[in-house]
Amino acid sequence: MQTKTYVIGHRNPDTDSIASAIAYAELKRLQGDLSVEAAMAGDPNPQTSYVLERLDIAHPLYLADVHPKVADVLNREPVTAHPDVPLLNVLELFHRNNIRVLPIVDDGGKPSGLVSLLRLSEKYLVAGRDRMRGVNTSLRLLAGCLEGDFLAGEATVEVEHLHLFIGAMLEESFSSRIGEYAVDQLMIMTGDRRTIQQAAIERGVRLLIVTGGHTVEDDLLVRAAARGVTVLSTPFDTATAAWVVRHSTPVGLFAEAGFEKIGVAEPLSHLRLKLLNSSEPAVVVVEEDGTLAGIATKSSLLAPHRASLILVDHNELGQAVPGAEELEIREVIDHHKLGNSHTQQPVTFITAPVGSTCTLVAGIYRQEGVEPPAPIAALLLAGILSDTVILKSPTTTPRDRDTVVWLEALAGLDHGTFGREIFSACSGLSGYGSPEKVITTDFKAFSAGDVRFGVGQVEVIGFDEFFSMKAELQEALGEVKRRENLAFAGLMVTDIYSESTLFLVEGKNELAHVMGHPQIEPHLYELKGVMSRKKQMVPHLLKVLERLQG
């Protein structure tokens, strides 16, 4: 199976994050790589949803996590056997498919046991004389394995415990050998020896098998019917027939019922623990409905992962989709500070101090000589306008402005009009659905020494709605602070027209003494001219905390 590569942003995706993921995946597709797909690690915010709907672009695939699952290393076409299949056929399955373990499944496809070739051979190799003589089988299975015909009696389906004796000696010696066994459990095999046939019938044994395709004289068959003796004729010679009889036992009797089991959707790490900490040769993998999905062995752990990642708009595993650390990261495209961990292999890492990741993605289009389709050009434009607040943010660079000129021509849009449309359509806080959603939709955690804090940001047009929701937002901030174990949690409410921010904060009350901005109400600060969390708010907070710690 071909490896799937997901282009994905951070856990609280904004318009820049999702737009850059979609646009970069589209570039890969245009270049012929159809294994790349855009994805998102969280629900899009109202602004992003509006942009995608406005441009008629589908939401990317939502991935709650990318932890490798058991299903990722599983062959979903396992070789199986029903419990009633004779061991003779099962050995052929082992040989023909070059397998070491075989799951036994019932009529509904659910596993009922597991047979390993090793343990099967151990049972036969270490079996004593009496155990080799005993055979658990049914007359129907015997007839099928021996390709035989019933001359007397019928093919019953009940499994019986029979003792096999070969009639290859004089009748007197033979009769003395079988004398200590119950006649209803005796299975006598002989060729065209009338004396042995007659002795077996006269004794009333359970089954007489006549080998070599020989028949039985009519008078003996009449006597067999009267004595209740089943007579079976097989074309096999005696040596072959004896070997076949010993392998006519239904495999269900050999199956280990106490097998290890795991679901397809469970993390691969769970499978690793089961395989490495168990003496079992394999683990049975089941679908959600309990039916068999496949068999996993230790060699399954060596299978390559079927997914890899391209990270956009972030480079820190702490912000990445859960499980990212377990996959290969092929590329990183970002405009934030470096915070990435080491990688197992060299990766393409594109970063620059620009206002938007979409600026970098658009630059790759230009570098590769690929002109994005109008909807993708408009999407990239939306990402830049969102992250730079219509080019008003102090993070805006000449490269952003130049890229906007190029994209608006391809998209057929005026960037000022389009930007105001985007922000006006989604400026209401009520559109987020809940106060907590207002805070967490674009929320990031940071560290200053041992102090962890978080800052969310929303863009609005005017502060009237914010003041009406201030109490609920402050309560939600407190809950986020407690849940995330933060020293304090803050929300930047940025008015894109007045180019100023109100900063609501919960925790670290001593911030008021060193904040450096006017506190207009308890827990609320006015930050005129502040629009960027990355370039203005967070650096300022780091300095404030440094002063407090000093």
**In 3D, which of 521, 508, 492 has the Cα closest to residue 547?**
508
In a domain, 133, yes or no: no
Residues 365 and 352 in one domain: yes
150 and 45 within one domain: no
Residues 317 and 421 in one domain: yes
Q: 213's torsion region: left (phi>0), alpha (psi -120 to 50) or beta?
A: left
Q: Say which residues have a Cβ less than 8 Å from residue 349's Cβ, sequence separation at least 6.
A: 315, 331, 332, 340
Element (H, E) at 520: strand 519-521
Structural domain including 183 reads 139-249
Residues 17 and 91 grouped into a single domain: no
Last residue of a domain, one of 425, 442, 470: 425
Specify the pLDDT at position 279.
76
CATH number assigned to the domain comprising residue 437: 3.10.310.20
Domain containing residue 170: CATH number: 3.40.1390.20
CA distance to 155, 489, 490, 550, per residue, from 547 (Å): 92, 18, 18, 5
Does residue 309 sit in helix, strand or coil?
Answer: strand
> Whose CA is closest to 325, among 339, 349, 308, 350?
308
Q: Average pLDDT of 180-189?
A: 91
Stated pTM of the model = 0.67
pLDDT at 168 over 80: no
322 and 396 both lie in a single domain = yes
- At 103, which CATH number? 3.10.580.10
Could you tell me the strand order of the sheet in which 207-210 lies? 134-137, 160-166, 186-190, 207-210, 230-233, 149-152
Number of domains forming the structure of the chain: 4
**Is the pLDDT score of 463 beyond 90?**
yes
Domain finish residue from 403, 425, 447: 425
Q: Are strands 160-166 and 207-210 parallel, antiparallel or unpaired?
A: unpaired
Measured in Å, how far apart are the chain's first and last C-alpha atoms? 57
Q: Is the dihedral of CA 218, 223, 224, 226 positive or negative?
A: positive
The more confident residue out of 490 and 448 is 490
Residues 145 and 39 in one domain: no
Residue 236 pLDDT grade (very low, low, confident, very high; cuts 50, 70, 90): very high
pLDDT digits (tens, 9 = 90+) for 471-528: 999 999 999 999 999 999 999 999 988 889 999 999 988 887 889 899 999 999 999 9
Predicted local distance difference test score (pLDDT) of residue 124: 67
- Shared domain for 510 and 405, answered yes or no, is no
Least confident of 16-25, 315-324, 386-395: 315-324
Residue 132 lies in a domain: no
Residue 190 CB contacts under 8 Å (≥ 6 apart), including other chains: 166, 167, 168, 196, 197, 200, 208, 209, 210, 211, 238
**Is 5:35 a contact under the CB 8 Å cutoff?**
yes
Among 425, 444, 473, where does a domain finish? 425
3-state secondary structure of 67: coil
Give the separation between CA 241 and CA 439, rounded to whole angstroms: 78
What confidence tier does 325 reach under pLDDT thresholds 50, 70, 90?
confident
Q: Do 409 and 310 share a structural domain? A: yes
pLDDT tier for residue 171 given thresholds of 50, 70 and 90: low
pLDDT digits (tens, 9 = 90+) for 91-146: 999 999 998 899 999 999 999 999 988 888 877 665 555 556 789 999 999 999 99
The domain spanning residue 348 has which CATH number?
A: 3.90.1640.10
Rg (CA), the chain: 38
3-state secondary structure of 286: strand
Whether 350 and 295 map to the same domain: the answer is: no
- 62: amino acid identity, one letter: Y
